[in-house]
Amino acid sequence: MVDARHGSGERRSRQDPVPATGVRLVFHVQVVSISSLKGGVGKTSVTTGLASAALAAGIPTLVVDLDPHADASTALGVRPEGQQDIGRMLKAPRRARLSEHVVPSGWVERAAAHGRAPAGSSPAILDVAVGSAYTGIYDRPDLGRRDLRRLSAVLAGADKYKLVLVDCPPSLNGLTRMAWTASNKVTLVAEPGLFSVAGTERTMRALQLFRREFAPNLSPAGIVANRVRTGSAEHTFRLSEMESMFGGLLLSPHIPEQANWQQIQGAAHSIHHWPGDSARNAAALFDALLANLLATDGRRATARVRDRARR
């Protein structure tokens, strides 16, 4: 059970699932914030790609759509039937009954219809705490400690999941800080471009400062290089720069630009369910990325951030 008093939480899984890649993952239950200081880098695409990989691997997963634009909720194909959105749950977090208000992703039904659930597995679980513009009332820079613990209190009811992915807004205001307080790992998303790389470095420094003051158990899970164009000299240069700046924090594999990604999200499909070689290749990349993200040694990563913050 996530400890709402201390914010960051881990729960030991009873059985380590075997993803489609065939690699057995050994991990505690993770609450992972997907963050970016700069908008337009594909943060929500990475969140939904990881959710798709978790569904394919049979990992019971909750996606918390904390971005007021609620794009993750749209991409995950949710159809609320009177459930409270995450903004209303945050308003009265200790009275919120998470299990009564999450909405199953439409991907689950589609996976069952196509017979793509892992063989011999329990029924697939991919639920969504639905986003809404109402969460915007908390996206202020002046939230106090009590407000920062609101999401932690809501996630105290997340007992049935082994992975919680929090899609944060592209800022370092109240909602992102609330997500970091509730998380034990943060994954940053960046494009290999000048402004995105500079923003990622600032976010890493902000993460270290936040950890010292509010969340000592928080650690970086790493940085995802997204929308990479393999034929671009600029992207090749910036990737090299990112490797020099962030070292082992730069996760592999990198995610290439996907020409049909908008079509896939608009159709509310999982990347693992979309036909074609391009989608199959992208799905395999997200399988590997999820495995690497969950296998990240948080203690070593935190030490690397601390060293870089001192420079």
Site of tokens 């971005």: 67
Each residue's pLDDT tens digit, 194-208: 999 999 999 999 999
Contact 1, 150 (CB under 8 A): no
Inform me whether the pLDDT recorded for 307 exceeds 50.
Answer: no
What domains can be seen in the chain, in order of their start residue? 30-309 (3.40.50.300)
Question: Which H or E run contains 165?
Answer: strand 163-167
Each residue's pLDDT tens digit, 37-58: 889 999 999 999 999 999 999 9
Each residue's pLDDT tens digit, 278-292: 999 999 999 999 999
Inform me whether the pLDDT recorded for 4 exceeds 80.
Answer: no
Which residues, other chains included, contact 222 with Cβ-Cβ below 8 Å and sequence gap of 6+?
Answer: 187, 188, 248, 249, 250, 251, 292, 293, 296, 301
Q: How confident is the model at residue 27 (pLDDT cuts 50, 70, 90)?
A: very low
What DSSP character marks residue 256? B
Inform me whether the pLDDT recorded for 21 exceeds 70.
Answer: no
Write down the pLDDT at residue 220. 92
Inform me whether the pLDDT recorded for 7 exceeds 60.
Answer: no
CA 309 vs. chain centroid, Å, equals 24
Q: How confident is the model at residue 120 (pLDDT cuts 50, 70, 90)?
A: low
Q: Which two tokens stand for residue 125?
A: 């679980």
Q: How confident is the model at residue 121 (pLDDT cuts 50, 70, 90)?
A: low
Quick one: average pLDDT of 66-90? 95
Cα separation, 147 vs 138, in Å, equals: 8
Task: Pick the more confident residue, 145 or 307.
Answer: 145
Contact 271, 286 (CB under 8 A): yes
Quick one: average pLDDT of 126-149? 96
Write down the pLDDT at residue 295. 83
Write down the pLDDT at residue 112. 76
- Residue 173 identity (one-letter amino acid): N
What DSSP character marks residue 257? P
- Min mean pLDDT across 7-11, 118-122, 159-163 is at 7-11
Write down the pLDDT at residue 153. 95
DSSP output for 213-252? HT-TT-EEEEEEE-SB-TT-HHHHHHHHHHHHHHGGGB-S
CA 250 vs. chain centroid, Å, equals 16
Inform me whether the pLDDT recorded for 14 exceeds 70.
Answer: no
Write down the pLDDT at residue 110. 82
Which of these, 103, 98, 62, lies nearest to 82 by C-alpha position? 103
**In degrees, to the nearest 5, what angle opens at C-alpha 298 toward C-alphas 257 and 226?**
5
User: Is 14 buried (19+), middle (13-18) or exposed (0-12) by CB count in 10 A?
Assistant: exposed
Answer whether 0.75 is exceeded by the pTM. Answer: yes
Quick one: average pLDDT of 112-135? 80
Inform me whether the pLDDT recorded for 69 exceeds 50.
Answer: yes
Write down the pLDDT at residue 296. 65
β 103-104/126-129 pair status: antiparallel
Average pLDDT score, the chain: 86
Q: How confident is the model at residue 28 (pLDDT cuts 50, 70, 90)?
A: low
Quick one: average pLDDT of 213-238? 94
State the alpha helices, DSSP H only, in the chain: 43-57, 71-75, 86-91, 98-101, 106-113, 145-148, 150-154, 174-182, 194-213, 233-246, 261-266, 277-294, 298-309
